Structure 1
Amino acid sequence: MTWTLLITIVPVIHQTLARAVMGKDREDVSNTDGKTIYYTGIIVLVITGLVVFAAMEAKVDIAFWTLLMISVMLYQALMERLYLPDPRYYIVTLLTLAATLVYVLFFVL
């Protein structure tokens, strides 16, 4: 139950932080690669979660889920850094990753 909650909450936290930090500036990238980059990581996370979570082994493999989240969010941060020159985008992604890892350390492990 904890991992399901985490996978559901992380994209919401990421979206909320991005909107809070960027505000109206974020709307400027709605017709650019920025929106695609932003949602790619979340889509990959959801699809992989649905496929792998169906396997019984994945439900108890904490290392897999932690690595998956780290990989996806680092990918997002890299793509945002390359294609969106505003540093707030990748900083929000890295802050969300840090918050996720803190959650994993304190509430999952």
Structure 2
Amino acid sequence: MTHSSLFQQGPEIAWQYAGEGVERQILGYDASVMMVKVRFDADGIGATHSHPHTQVTYIESGVFEMTIGDTTQVLRKGDGYYVPPNTQHGIICLEAGELVDTFSPCREDFLPK
């Protein structure tokens, strides 16, 4: 696997469609870790899913209803959450905003083919 460039300049990184009202930018990565910025319109939904990656997320802006397993909480700017591997989780954007996701290992399925 390759890795990202050493530096990422936000305006130069293309946004990728990630669902209705949701798009993402791939930031730094290598085989062991990946950082991704995710932008949500109000009412955008990150459908319930699971993956084998550990995920840690920071709420950069907006308000979100996050469900991890059977637990749901409303999170705002400055909050964060941890998703263990293979755990069902999903998110609903209540007020437009951005998240910064970190995955380990890298989400190779996010990389261009």
Pair in the same fold by TM > 0.5: no
TM-score by length of 2: 0.23
Q: Which has the higher contact order (CA 8 A, sep 6+)?
A: 1
Q: Which has the higher strand share?
A: 2
Q: Which has the higher helix share?
A: 1
**Radius of gyration: which is bigger?**
1
